Protein backbone atom coordinates (compact mmCIF):
# COMPACT_ATOMS: atom_id res chain seq x y z
CA UNK A 1 0.00 0.00 0.00
CA UNK A 2 2.85 2.36 0.81
CA UNK A 3 4.33 1.80 -2.65
CA UNK A 4 1.02 2.56 -4.35
CA UNK A 5 0.54 5.64 -2.18
CA UNK A 6 4.03 6.92 -3.01
CA UNK A 7 3.81 6.12 -6.73
CA UNK A 8 0.57 8.04 -7.00
CA UNK A 9 2.08 10.99 -5.16
CA UNK A 10 5.34 11.06 -7.15
CA UNK A 11 3.65 10.69 -10.53
CA UNK A 12 1.55 13.73 -9.73
CA UNK A 13 4.69 15.53 -8.61
CA UNK A 14 6.41 14.88 -11.96
CA UNK A 15 3.52 16.41 -13.87
CA UNK A 16 2.63 19.10 -11.31
CA UNK A 17 4.07 22.16 -13.01
CA UNK A 18 4.18 20.87 -16.61
CA UNK A 19 7.96 21.40 -16.90
CA UNK A 20 8.55 17.75 -17.72
CA UNK A 21 5.72 17.68 -20.27
CA UNK A 22 6.98 20.89 -21.89
CA UNK A 23 10.50 19.48 -22.19
CA UNK A 24 9.13 16.21 -23.51
CA UNK A 25 7.15 18.00 -26.22
CA UNK A 26 10.20 20.09 -27.16
CA UNK A 27 12.33 16.98 -27.38
CA UNK A 28 9.86 15.14 -29.61
CA UNK A 29 9.31 18.18 -31.84
CA UNK A 30 13.08 18.71 -32.10
CA UNK A 31 13.57 15.09 -33.10
CA UNK A 32 10.93 15.19 -35.82
CA UNK A 33 11.31 18.74 -37.18
CA UNK A 34 14.57 20.59 -36.52
CA UNK A 35 16.93 17.63 -36.50
CA UNK A 36 16.16 16.70 -40.16
CA UNK A 37 16.47 20.36 -41.20
CA UNK A 38 19.93 20.57 -39.64
CA UNK A 39 20.99 17.82 -41.98
CA UNK A 40 22.80 15.83 -39.34
CA UNK A 41 23.99 12.34 -40.08
CA UNK A 42 22.38 9.43 -38.28
CA UNK A 43 25.08 9.17 -35.63
CA UNK A 44 25.31 12.95 -35.14
CA UNK A 45 21.59 13.02 -34.61
CA UNK A 46 21.85 10.30 -31.95
CA UNK A 47 24.78 12.07 -30.25
CA UNK A 48 22.87 15.33 -30.02
CA UNK A 49 19.76 13.61 -28.71
CA UNK A 50 21.83 11.75 -26.08
CA UNK A 51 23.09 15.07 -24.69
CA UNK A 52 19.58 16.56 -24.77
CA UNK A 53 18.16 13.51 -22.99
CA UNK A 54 20.86 13.78 -20.34
CA UNK A 55 19.99 17.45 -19.74
CA UNK A 56 16.31 16.63 -19.71
CA UNK A 57 16.85 13.93 -17.07
CA UNK A 58 18.91 16.36 -15.02
CA UNK A 59 16.45 19.26 -15.21
CA UNK A 60 13.47 17.01 -14.60
CA UNK A 61 15.26 15.50 -11.59
CA UNK A 62 16.13 18.89 -10.13
CA UNK A 63 12.56 20.10 -10.60
CA UNK A 64 11.15 16.91 -9.09
CA UNK A 65 13.31 17.19 -5.96
CA UNK A 66 12.51 20.88 -5.62
CA UNK A 67 8.78 20.07 -5.75
CA UNK A 68 9.30 17.16 -3.38
CA UNK A 69 10.88 19.53 -0.87
CA UNK A 70 8.07 22.05 -1.33
CA UNK A 71 5.01 19.81 -1.26
CA UNK A 72 6.00 16.50 0.32
CA UNK A 73 7.51 17.73 3.52
CA UNK A 74 5.17 15.65 5.64
CA UNK A 75 4.55 12.74 3.26
CA UNK A 76 7.84 11.09 4.18
CA UNK A 77 6.80 11.25 7.82
CA UNK A 78 3.53 9.46 6.97
CA UNK A 79 5.36 6.69 5.13
CA UNK A 80 8.12 6.39 7.70
CA UNK A 81 10.42 4.27 5.52
CA UNK A 82 13.38 6.13 4.10
CA UNK A 83 14.70 3.54 1.63
CA UNK A 84 11.24 2.77 0.32
CA UNK A 85 10.61 6.48 -0.13
CA UNK A 86 13.75 7.19 -2.16
CA UNK A 87 13.57 3.89 -4.05
CA UNK A 88 10.07 4.66 -5.31
CA UNK A 89 11.27 8.15 -6.24
CA UNK A 90 14.07 6.60 -8.30
CA UNK A 91 11.74 4.14 -10.01
CA UNK A 92 9.33 6.92 -10.95
CA UNK A 93 12.14 9.04 -12.37
CA UNK A 94 13.47 6.04 -14.27
CA UNK A 95 9.99 5.53 -15.71
CA UNK A 96 9.89 9.16 -16.87
CA UNK A 97 13.22 8.61 -18.61
CA UNK A 98 11.78 5.52 -20.30
CA UNK A 99 8.74 7.55 -21.37
CA UNK A 100 11.02 10.24 -22.84
CA UNK A 101 13.01 7.66 -24.77
CA UNK A 102 9.92 5.79 -26.00
CA UNK A 103 8.21 8.95 -27.26
CA UNK A 104 11.41 10.22 -28.87
CA UNK A 105 11.76 6.99 -30.87
CA UNK A 106 8.08 6.23 -31.21
CA UNK A 107 8.39 6.07 -35.01
CA UNK A 108 11.12 3.43 -35.03
CA UNK A 109 10.34 1.59 -31.78
CA UNK A 110 14.03 0.73 -31.69
CA UNK A 111 14.54 -0.99 -28.33
CA UNK A 112 18.28 -0.45 -28.38
CA UNK A 113 17.95 3.32 -28.82
CA UNK A 114 15.28 3.43 -26.13
CA UNK A 115 17.67 1.70 -23.71
CA UNK A 116 20.54 4.06 -24.60
CA UNK A 117 18.43 7.15 -24.10
CA UNK A 118 16.83 5.88 -20.91
CA UNK A 119 20.18 5.29 -19.23
CA UNK A 120 21.56 8.65 -20.42
CA UNK A 121 18.59 10.43 -18.84
CA UNK A 122 18.93 8.27 -15.74
CA UNK A 123 22.50 9.50 -15.15
CA UNK A 124 21.20 13.09 -15.24
CA UNK A 125 18.39 12.22 -12.84
CA UNK A 126 20.65 10.56 -10.28
CA UNK A 127 23.08 13.48 -10.49
CA UNK A 128 20.16 15.71 -9.48
CA UNK A 129 19.45 13.27 -6.63
CA UNK A 130 23.03 13.56 -5.42
CA UNK A 131 22.89 17.35 -5.40
CA UNK A 132 19.35 17.91 -4.10
CA UNK A 133 20.25 18.93 -0.51
CA UNK A 134 22.99 21.21 -1.79
CA UNK A 135 20.37 23.18 -3.68
CA UNK A 136 18.06 23.26 -0.68
CA UNK A 137 20.53 24.61 1.86
CA UNK A 138 23.55 25.86 -0.08
CA UNK A 139 22.35 26.95 -3.53
CA UNK A 140 25.71 28.42 -4.58
CA UNK A 141 27.56 25.23 -3.66
CA UNK A 142 24.84 23.31 -5.50
CA UNK A 143 25.27 25.35 -8.67
CA UNK A 144 29.07 25.09 -8.63
CA UNK A 145 28.84 21.33 -8.05
CA UNK A 146 26.37 21.08 -10.91
CA UNK A 147 28.69 23.05 -13.19
CA UNK A 148 31.59 20.70 -12.36
CA UNK A 149 29.51 17.54 -12.78
CA UNK A 150 28.12 18.66 -16.14
CA UNK A 151 31.63 19.52 -17.29
CA UNK A 152 32.92 16.12 -16.23
CA UNK A 153 29.96 14.42 -17.92
CA UNK A 154 30.45 16.10 -21.27
CA UNK A 155 34.22 16.63 -21.45
CA UNK A 156 36.21 14.24 -23.61
CA UNK A 157 37.73 11.71 -21.22
CA UNK A 158 39.37 9.59 -23.89
CA UNK A 159 42.63 11.51 -23.54
CA UNK A 160 44.38 13.99 -21.24
CA UNK A 161 44.09 14.12 -17.46
CA UNK A 162 40.50 12.92 -17.43
CA UNK A 163 41.54 9.68 -19.12
CA UNK A 164 43.08 8.44 -15.86
CA UNK A 165 39.91 9.00 -13.87
CA UNK A 166 37.33 8.32 -16.54
CA UNK A 167 35.96 5.36 -14.59
CA UNK A 168 34.52 7.75 -11.99
CA UNK A 169 33.17 10.27 -14.48
CA UNK A 170 29.52 10.30 -15.53
CA UNK A 171 29.62 8.20 -18.72
CA UNK A 172 27.87 10.58 -21.12
CA UNK A 173 30.73 11.74 -23.32
CA UNK A 174 31.99 8.16 -23.37
CA UNK A 175 28.89 7.15 -25.29
CA UNK A 176 29.39 9.94 -27.82
CA UNK A 177 33.11 9.21 -28.23
CA UNK A 178 32.34 5.53 -28.77
CA UNK A 179 29.86 6.43 -31.49
CA UNK A 180 32.31 8.85 -33.15
CA UNK A 181 34.95 6.14 -33.23
CA UNK A 182 32.81 4.46 -35.83
CA UNK A 183 31.28 1.82 -33.63
CA UNK A 184 27.76 0.66 -34.29
CA UNK A 185 24.83 1.49 -32.07
CA UNK A 186 25.02 -2.06 -30.69
CA UNK A 187 28.51 -1.30 -29.37
CA UNK A 188 26.95 1.33 -27.07
CA UNK A 189 25.03 -1.26 -25.10
CA UNK A 190 27.90 -1.90 -22.61
CA UNK A 191 28.20 1.87 -22.11
CA UNK A 192 24.45 1.99 -21.45
CA UNK A 193 24.99 -0.76 -18.85
CA UNK A 194 27.76 1.32 -17.34
CA UNK A 195 25.46 4.35 -17.24
CA UNK A 196 22.77 2.36 -15.47
CA UNK A 197 25.23 1.01 -12.88
CA UNK A 198 26.64 4.52 -12.47
CA UNK A 199 23.14 5.84 -11.81
CA UNK A 200 22.48 3.12 -9.24
CA UNK A 201 25.76 3.93 -7.49
CA UNK A 202 24.86 7.63 -7.35
CA UNK A 203 21.45 6.66 -5.96
CA UNK A 204 23.09 4.47 -3.29
CA UNK A 205 25.62 7.16 -2.36
CA UNK A 206 22.98 9.88 -2.06
CA UNK A 207 20.73 7.44 -0.18
CA UNK A 208 23.34 6.62 2.44
CA UNK A 209 24.71 10.14 2.61
CA UNK A 210 21.38 11.85 3.20
CA UNK A 211 19.72 9.22 5.36
CA UNK A 212 20.42 11.19 8.52
CA UNK A 213 18.23 13.97 7.23
CA UNK A 214 15.28 11.61 7.09
CA UNK A 215 15.63 9.58 10.24
CA UNK A 216 17.94 9.49 13.19
Partner 1 sequence: MELLAAKDLSLQNEGYFAFKHVTFSLYQNEIAYILGDNGSGKTQFLDTLASLKSPDSGKLEIAPKARFGYLPQINPEVITKTVKKYLSDVRSLSGNLAVRDSQLKELITYMGMSPYLDRPVRQLSLGLKQRVGFLAAVVGHPNILLLDEPFSFQNSEMITNMLDIIKDLRDNHSGIVIASTVQDDSVVNYFDTNYLMKDNSLIKVTDQNQAVHYMLIFTVKSNTMALPSDISHYLSTNVDNLIELKVPMKIKDSIIKEMLELNYNFEGARVLEN
Residues lying near partner 1 in the complex (CB under 8 A) are found at: 1-2, 5, 12, 16, 70-80, 212-216
Q: How far is the CB of 140 from partner 1 (least distance, A)?
A: 14
Q: How far is the CB of 1 from partner 1 (least distance, A)?
A: 4
Q: Is 195 exposed, middle or buried (0-12, 13-18, 19+ CB in 10 A)?
A: buried
Q: Which is nearer to partner 1, 183 or 213 (CB)?
A: 213
Q: Which is nearer to partner 1, 1 or 37 (CB)?
A: 1
Residues 74/212, Cβ–Cβ less than 8 Å: no
Gap between the Cα atoms of 137 and 128, Å rounded: 14
Q: Which is nearer to partner 1, 69 or 143 (CB)?
A: 69
Gap between the Cα atoms of 99 and 118, Å rounded: 8
Q: Which is nearer to partner 1, 72 or 195 (CB)?
A: 72
Q: How far is the CB of 24 from partner 1 (least distance, A)?
A: 21
- Would you call 141 helix, strand, or coil by DSSP? helix
Gap between the Cα atoms of 3 and 153, Å rounded: 32
Q: How far is the CB of 10 from partner 1 (least distance, A)?
A: 12
Amino acid sequence: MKIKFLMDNFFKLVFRDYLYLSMLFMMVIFKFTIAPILGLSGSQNVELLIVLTFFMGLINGLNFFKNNQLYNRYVKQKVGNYWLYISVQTVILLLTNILTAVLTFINTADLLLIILFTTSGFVGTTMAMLLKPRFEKHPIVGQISMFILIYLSLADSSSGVLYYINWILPPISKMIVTLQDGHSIQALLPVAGQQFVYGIILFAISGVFYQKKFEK
